[in-house]
A and B are shown apart, each in its own frame.
Chain A
């Protein structure tokens, strides 16, 4: 049998297994691939990072889809919803910043354990620009946190209660503080904060848990 025929037969025999530009996956519209990628976040969410401590991020969870091919990378990086569940519990600082950058003004959820953040990084994550698109904020301040972290936490609460519309799409705010010293949540030199619902219209859930907050009437 001529070599060319052998080669042709080999290729035909292996055709179903070979990736091809006309393969069904290549013909899916970008929006369908984006839905599949979002399903991957549901199936293999950030908490799966717990089982992979020390693994490079690109080998963990659904983020791998951005490393499959150029098209998948382009679609996944352009789909802000994919990066909008931001949690520093199991993520390195560069990965956290990358998530914030890629969530690109899509309504996002931000969960921070302050024991894993330095103060400048905390402030940069909760700057006024980022606050514009945060839909859920969950901040946990453990008892062992240094006083600088406690002050930072306190300042965040103070700013939040004093200023209107700093978080126009915020729907849920959860602040967890393990008690050591009470944390003041009002600046006595200032007039009482306005009603939180008026100041933050979409905010429908606020939880202050397990801590001592000094909040004079």
Chain B
């Protein structure tokens, strides 16, 4: 569950035509961002609706680092005002469309960073970013053997030798 703390008016600039949100990362970095930018996140949108009901100013504490949060904000800033089909609540599950050219460059990061971004995007309910990350990860393991997949993504093979060679797993994929 997200933790919400009250903040004073000096921390969050006053409401104007473009309201500002205070996001607090797990490494306690305070990041002020325009609400419009983060409206792609259904999680943030729901939080903001909650704020309006209480008419209080709040900061939103997020369980990932400022480095990851800044990447997500960069993504949301780039697509600010754009309609992305994948973010439609009625859209098909994410990850089944090609990665956009800008997203390819944006996600040209190391494996661990990519996994942290997809986890953050899932938490923030940004389906388009989840989908792009999923496709990027799928591309990393495309055409690879199971052993290569383990090496690429740092997964431990915890099957027993008997399980690995059992007919039920061998012949049925």
A interface residues, Cβ below 8 angstroms from B: 17-21, 23-29, 31-32, 35-36, 38-40, 42-44, 56-60, 62-73, 81, 94-95, 98
Contact = CB atoms under 8 A, between A and B. Distances in A.
Given A35-B95, A39-B134, A44 B154 contact: no
Nearest to B97: A42
A56 B170 contact: yes
Interface size class of B (residues with CB under 8 A): 35 or more
Contacts of B170: 56, 58
Interface in B111-127: 111-112, 115-116, 118-119, 122
Contacts of A29: 119, 122
Interface in B142-173: 142-146, 149-150, 153-159, 163-164, 169-173
A69 B96 CA distance: 24
Overall SS of chain B's interface = helix
A57 B142 contact: no
B172 A36 contact: no
A15 B141 CA distance: 21
A35 B163 CA distance: 25
Most buried by A among B116, B139, B171: B171
B95 A26 contact: no
Nearest to A26: B155
B109 to A, nearest CB: 12
3 tightest Cβ-Cβ pairs between the two chains A and B: A39-B95, A24-B115, A39-B138
Contacts of B14: none
B42 interface: no
B138 A57 contact: no
Given A35-B134, A39-B135, A68 B172 contact: no
